[in-house]
């Protein structure tokens, strides 16, 4: 799958997860449509998509046996690496470790992994 399509799979899973798991009304930046998503964010989404696909491929799809938390953690770590790539001094919330992430984001990250599995 071309990276742009993978990035869109990631973004759609993010949007769906935020709408499902975020308590209350999410910030507008959390639910920005694809057409308005900044280029760096599109690139980061495509890169994380590719990393998850590679994990699945290299494990012979046995990475699908990871726990839901492990799947979410993998997405979160890949995203954090992208934040360091795209920002010299990223906001602390952009690079927070798993225990510091809000539950809605943990659930959304796990949903992203599972959406990529199914793509």
Model confidence at 3, pLDDT cuts 50, 70, 90, reads confident
3-class DSSP assignment, residue 26: coil
CA separation, residue 48 to residues 25, 92, 103, 115 (Å): 26, 19, 20, 12
What's the pLDDT tens digit per position in 41-63? 999 999 999 999 999 999 999 99
Task: Give the CB-side neighbour count of residue 16, counting CA atoms within 13 A.
Answer: 13
Tell me the two tokens of residue 59.
């494990």
% of the chain exceeding 70 in pLDDT? 99
What's the pLDDT tens digit per position in 7-23? 999 999 999 999 999 99
Tell me the two tokens of residue 61.
């799809």
Q: Which residues contact 116 (CB under 8 A, 6 or more apart)?
A: 6, 9, 10, 13, 49, 52, 53, 56
């Amino acid at each position: 799958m071309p990276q742009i399509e993978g990035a869109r799979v990631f973004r759609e899973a993010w949007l769906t997860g935020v709408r499902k798991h975020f308590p209350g009304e999410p910030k507008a930046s959390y639910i920005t449509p694809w057409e308005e998503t900044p280029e760096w964010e599109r690139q980061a989404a495509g890169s994380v998509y590719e990393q998850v696909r590679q994990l699945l491929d290299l494990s012979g799809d046995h990475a699908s046996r990871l726990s839901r938390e492990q799947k979410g953690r993998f997405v979160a770590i890949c995203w954090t690496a992208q934040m360091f790539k795209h920002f010299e001094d990223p906001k602390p919330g952009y690079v927070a470790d798993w225990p510091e992430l809000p539950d809605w984001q943990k659930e959304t990250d796990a949903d992203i992994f599972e959406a990529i599995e199914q793509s």
